[in-house]
Amino acid sequence: MSGEALKLELLDDLRSQFGEGITWSGMLYDMPTVCIRRNIHLQIVDWLKSSEKWHFNHFIDITAVDYFKQHEEYRYEVVVHLRSHSKNIKVRIKTPVPGEKPELPTLTTLFAGASWSEREVFDLMGIRFKGHPRMTRVLSPDDFEGHPLRKDFPVKGKHRGSFPRGTVISNKRREPVVGKKTKPDPLDHMMPTTVWEQQRAPMREEKGDA
């Protein structure tokens, strides 16, 4: 069976299996795509993986897209790509997620590869995954505020404006004191862990600083 017919047959199987759960299904540039409702996100991936006929066992990718102000009922869309090694075809599953409290069940129970990609989606887009073993940020520092890949997050970041070019971060206490051995300063353990905090530090009042 050629690739094309196989993909169409896959779409028919999915429609027959999850009739009303699927809002739209079709071929997008030679990739069978299925838009589903939020509640069957876990069941459809589980079915795809465990069905002997299709056996989608190769995890490809999880990512999310922020359709900001383009749809009323949902804002984000989580896109899952899977591949069946035996049949050598790929499938894309798109799940809409509302804007206020974006939440989805995690896929790590089915695919170990999903753990870090879901963490990345949480880190950059702010969509939480219930039941994820380590739901923390993976790419940004731990005390980073905001989710950068959202459309309303500026490219240059929110706090950077307060730091004029060339100001050397040298909080006085840490300046090496030549010659004298310094007592351990109790405040020293509070060295700002990330530049993030330093960048919010108020600018020193230079006289005539432009």
Handedness of CA 143, 147, 152, 155 (dihedral sign): positive
User: How many Cα atoms sit within 13 Å of 206 on the Cβ side?
Assistant: 9
Round to whole Å and give the CA distance between 80 and 41: 10
58 binds other proteins (CB under 8 A): yes
13 binds other proteins (CB under 8 A): no
Please give the radius of gyration of the chain, using alpha carbons only, rounded to the nearest integer: 24
Question: What is Dmax (Cα atoms) for the chain?
Answer: 81
Closest separation in Å from C-beta 88 to other proteins: 5
Count of other CB atoms within 10 angstroms of residue 39: 10
Segment contacting other proteins by CB under 8 A, of 14-22, 38-46, 87-95, 96-104: 87-95
124 binds other proteins (CB under 8 A): yes
Round to whole Å and give the CA distance between 95 and 74: 10
Indicate which single residue of 101, 172, 181, 207 sits in contact with other proteins (rule: CB under 8 A).
181
Window 33 to 52, contacts with other proteins (CB under 8 A): none
18 binds other proteins (CB under 8 A): no
* Beta carbons of 132 and 119 less than 8 angstroms apart: yes
Segment contacting other proteins by CB under 8 A, of 9-17, 35-43, 98-106, 145-153: 145-153
Instruction: Kindly list the residues in this chain that would bind other proteins in the complex (CB under 8 A).
Output: 3, 28-29, 31, 57-61, 63, 65-66, 79, 81, 85, 88, 90, 92, 111-113, 115-117, 120, 124, 137-141, 144, 148-149, 153-158, 160, 163, 165-170, 174-182, 184-185, 188, 191-196, 199
